[in-house]
C-alpha cells in the first residue's frame, strides 16, 4: 500500500489528485486530496470554504467516478476535478478508506510545496459505500482505457465549471397539477425513435426516459424498466443514445442514492 508524504508533494498549477497519507505518527492511512490552485489562495485558511460533489458515468465501457471540490474565499474561487480508477493497482484500497473515514483533508500547495491543509467532513462516504459493489459487477478496464475515457468525457464536458453544474442533482418531487403535457407540447426536436419514451417530469420538465449508462449492465441482467430514469430532452439529445432490450441508454452521470445529474439549464418547462 503506497503512502504519500504530504510534505514532499510537488504540483503544477491547477493539478489535483487523491491519495493515501498518514495524518500523524503511527496513525492509520486515510484518503486526502492534494491540490494546487491557478490563483493563489490567502495564506490564512480561516475564511476558505470547501464544497463537495460526486458523480459516476459510464463512458466507452469504463465507469468513471468523479469527485469535485469548489474552494472559495472572499477574493477567489476554484474548482478541482479528481478522478478515481477502481481497477488501478492502488485504487481499491482508496475506495474502501474514503467510504469509511468521517473527515476529508484537503492539502494546498504552491510552487514551494505545501502551504496549509483544511479538514472537512467527508460527504463522499455514502456515495462510495453504494458505488463499490456496483463497480465490482463491471468488466475490468486497463489504465490506458481509463485515461482515454477521462480525456474523451472531459473533451465533451469541460470546462470544470460545466462539470460542476453537470453533477448537481435535484431531489425527486411530485408532479404538478394541470393538463398533462405530451410529446406534442415539446417546442424542439425529438428523434422519432425516442418519442415513445417522452415524459414530463415536475423537476426537469420535458424529458426522455432513459437508462443511465452506469446501470446498463444491471439492466441487461434484469428488467430494464427497473433502471429507467427521466432525463431532460436536451441532455439526452446532446449525449446521444444506444439501445439495449428496446430501451435507450445515455451517458448521463448517475449519483447513487439521488438519481441523474444534469445541468440545470437543460431543464425545459
**151 and 195 belong to one structural domain:** no
- Both 37 and 116 in one domain: the answer is yes
Residues 35 and 137 in one domain: yes
Q: Which of 244, 46, 215, 25 is nearest to 135 (CA)?
A: 215
Q: Among 208, 204, 213, which residue's Cα sits nearest to residue 265?
A: 204
What are 104-151's pLDDT values in tens digits?
A: 999 999 999 999 999 999 989 888 888 877 788 788 999 999 999 999
For residues 151 and 221, state if they share a domain.
Answer: no
Query: What CA–CA distance (Å, rounded) separates 79 from 38?
Result: 10
What is the reported pTM?
0.66
The Cα–Cα gap between 69 and 32 comes to 12
Q: Does 134 map to a domain?
A: yes
Does one domain contain both 34 and 159?
yes
Percent of the chain with pLDDT over 90: 40
- Which of 166, 193, 214 terminates a domain? The answer is 166
Task: For residues 196 and 204, give the distance between their C-alpha atoms in angstroms, rounded to a whole number.
Answer: 18
- 89 with 221, same domain? no
Does residue 258 sit in the same domain as residue 162? no
Query: Residue 72: its pLDDT value, please?
Result: 87
Residue 156 CB neighbour total at 10 angstroms: 12
Question: Is there a contact between 90 and 21 (Cβ–Cβ < 8 Å)?
Answer: no
pLDDT surpasses 70 at 173: no
Residue 66: φ, ψ to 5° = -125, 125
The number of distinct structural domains making up the chain is: 2
pLDDT given at position 44: 55
Angle in degrees, 0-180, between the axes of helices 91-98 and 125-135, rounded to the nearest 10? 140
Both 70 and 158 in a single domain?
yes
Q: Are residues 221 and 157 in the same domain?
A: no
Q: Is residue 268 part of a domain?
A: no
Please compute, for residue 216, the number of CA atoms within 13 A of its CA located in the half-sphere on the CB side. 24
pLDDT tens digits, 219-250: 898 888 888 888 999 999 998 899 999 999 99
Cell numbers given for 241: 443514445
pLDDT of residue 177: 38
Do 231 and 260 touch, CB atoms closer than 8 A?
yes
Cell numbers placing 171: 431531489
- pLDDT level of residue 178 (50, 70, 90 thresholds): very low
* Domain span including residue 229: 183-263
3-state secondary structure at position 152: helix
Q: If you write DSSP's letter for every residue of 200-236 in order, what string do you get? A: EETTTEEEEEEEEGGGHHHHHHS-GGGG-EEEEHHHH
Give the pairing of strands 198-201 and 205-212: antiparallel
Helices (H) and strands (E) in the chain, counts: 6, 14
The Cα 168–Cα 239 span in angstroms is: 17
Amino acid at each position: 500500500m503506497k503512502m504519500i508524504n504530504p510534505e514532499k508533494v510537488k504540483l503544477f498549477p491547477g493539478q489535483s489528485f487523491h491519495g493515501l497519507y498518514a495524518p500523524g505518527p503511527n496513525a492509520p492511512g486515510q484518503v486526502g486530496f492534494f491540490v494546487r490552485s491557478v490563483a493563489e489562495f490567502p495564506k490564512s485558511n480561516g475564511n476558505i470554504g470547501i464544497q463537495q460533489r460526486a458523480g459516476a458515468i459510464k463512458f466507452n465501457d469504463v465507469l468513471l467516478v468523479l469527485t469535485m471540490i469548489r474552494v472559495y474565499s472572499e477574493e477567489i474561487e476554484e474548482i478541482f476535478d479528481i478522478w478515481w480508477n477502481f481497477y488501478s493497482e492502488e485504487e481499491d484500497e482508496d475506495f474502501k478508506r474514503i467510504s469509511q473515514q468521517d473527515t476529508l483533508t484537503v492539502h494546498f500547495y504552491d510552487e514551494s510545496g505545501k502551504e496549509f491543509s483544511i479538514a472537512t467532513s467527508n460527504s463522499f462516504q455514502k456515495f462510495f459505500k453504494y458505488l463499490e459493489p456496483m463497480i465490482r459487477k463491471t468488466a475490468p478496464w486497463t489504465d490506458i482505457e481509463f485515461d482515454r475515457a477521462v480525456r474523451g468525457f472531459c473533451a465533451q464536458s469541460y470546462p470544470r465549471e460545466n462539470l460542476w453544474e453537470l453533477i448537481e442533482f435535484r431531489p425527486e418531487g411530485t408532479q404538478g397539477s394541470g393538463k398533462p403535457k405530451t410529446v406534442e407540447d415539446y417546442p424542439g426536436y425529438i428523434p422519432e425513435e425516442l418519442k415513445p419514451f417522452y415524459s414530463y417530469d415536475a423537476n426537469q420538465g420535458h424529458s426522455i426516459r432513459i437508462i443511465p449508462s452506469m446501470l446498463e449492465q444491471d439492466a441487461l441482467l434484469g428488467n430494464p424498466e427497473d433502471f429507467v430514469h427521466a432525463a431532460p430532452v436536451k441532455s439526452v439529445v446532446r449525449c446521444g443514445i444506444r439501445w439495449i432490450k428496446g430501451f435507450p441508454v445515455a451517458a448521463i452521470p448517475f449519483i447513487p442514492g439521488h438519481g441523474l445529474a444534469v445541468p440545470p439549464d437543460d431543464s425545459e418547462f
